[in-house]
Amino acid sequence: MELRHLRYFIAVAELHSVRAASEQLHVTQPAISRQIHSLEETIGAALFERTRRGLVLTAAGEAYLVEAREILARVDAANRRARQIGSGLHGQLRVGFVENAAWSGTVSRALREFEQAVPNVRLELLPMNTPQQLESIAAGRLDGGFGYREDVLPHGIASVRVLEQNVVLAVPEAWPLGKEGAVATAALRDKPFIAFPRCEYPAYYDRLLSACAARGLTLDIRQEASTETAILSLVCAGVGAAIVNAANRDRPPARVRFVDLQDLSVPLLLDFCFLGNGVNAALDRFVDQLRRATS
């Protein structure tokens, strides 16, 4: 049995005529009659009663018509859904993000515009650091993620540059340091600092300390915290200063002053990294939109 058998049957049942069904379907009358006869043989029951007034459904035919319509409706719905998924208009997109990246207008606008453009794609946003994102993307647990890339990307992962940021000094509001404006690294000697543990961001940790060392500064790291939110909470508490992503200025915590550094630059490149295998059409649509927004 094929779907065309059901379509021919439904047309004849609704029009009460093989001739009328033939005209509607653009199929010859003998072909339709053969298919209806074949369908009845397959089922083992007569579906139509032949009368002088035309074809009339039998009790078996009436019951079969209900089921046939539901079958074709489900098939048509499956076809539509498959087309939508194939074109990126339906499905799911799992996106990781470094927390402060979402404070950027570029990232939040990209996410908002995508949700508005394709409301039938379920967008699942998961906060995690960059190394965790790359590991999850490579393992297929994430489709993509916004993170600060330091190393060469693993095989199979592509990226789109979103924006470039830099670092800024965060100090307790009670400290006099930086009240008059930007400070030089020389003013940071012997000051207590809070930083990431090296295991969280090895490449960034090494680059930051190398940049400081090039200016003759060795950071006196008294405390470590795994997120910038935690680092800034310790700055709020007066535990020490920290060199953090300038994106934190978009959401300044209480009792923290952000100060520009006159002679220290550590560029932070925010990328959207993603599986480049072209399997998820919704992801392809999001990447295309992001490229247009950042070009």
Nearest to 137 by CA among 100, 97, 164: 97
DSSP letter assigned to residue 271: E
Q: pLDDT per position in the chain (295 positions), as tens?
A: 688 888 988 999 899 888 998 889 899 999 989 989 988 898 899 999 888 777 889 999 999 999 999 988 888 877 777 776 666 667 889 999 988 887 767 888 899 999 998 888 899 999 998 989 999 999 999 999 999 987 788 888 999 999 999 999 999 999 999 999 999 999 999 999 999 999 988 989 999 999 999 999 999 999 999 889 999 999 999 999 999 999 998 888 889 999 999 999 999 999 999 988 777 888 998 999 999 888 7
CATH number for the segment(s) 3-86 = 1.10.10.10
Task: For residues 228 and 257, give the distance between their C-alpha atoms in angstroms, rounded to a whole number.
Answer: 15
Residue 91 has what pLDDT? 84
Nearest to 97 by CA among 218, 275, 274, 226: 274
Superfamily holding 167-266: Periplasmic binding protein-like II (3.40.190.10)
> Which sequence spans correspond to the domains of the chain?
3-86, 91-158+271-294, 167-266
Count of alpha carbons within 13 angstroms of residue 200, beta-carbon side: 13
Helices 281-294 and 105-117, axial angle in degrees (round to 10): 130
Is the separation of the CB atoms in 168 and 249 below 8 Å? yes
Q: What is the dihedral of CA 184, 190, 191, 197, to 10 degrees?
A: 100
DSSP letter assigned to residue 142: -
Tokens representing 96? 């990781």
Task: For residues 56 and 54, give the distance between their C-alpha atoms in angstroms, rounded to a whole number.
Answer: 6
Helical (H) or strand (E) element with 2: none
CATH number for the segment(s) 91-158+271-294 = 3.40.190.10
Task: For residues 220 and 45, give the distance between their C-alpha atoms in angstroms, rounded to a whole number.
Answer: 89
Helical (H) or strand (E) element with 100: none
* Backbone angles phi and psi of 209, in degrees to 5: -65, -35
DSSP lists the bridge partners of residue 171 as 257
Is the separation of the CB atoms in 227 and 128 below 8 Å? no
Provide the 10 A C-beta neighbour count for residue 73. 10
Residue 120 has what pLDDT? 87
Asked if the domains at 91-158+271-294 and 167-266 fall in one CATH topology, the answer is yes
* Backbone angles phi and psi of 68, in degrees to 5: -65, -40
Task: For residues 93 and 274, give the distance between their C-alpha atoms in angstroms, rounded to a whole number.
Answer: 11
Residue 268 has what pLDDT? 93
The pTM (predicted TM-score) of the whole model is 0.69
Helical (H) or strand (E) element with 122: strand 121-127
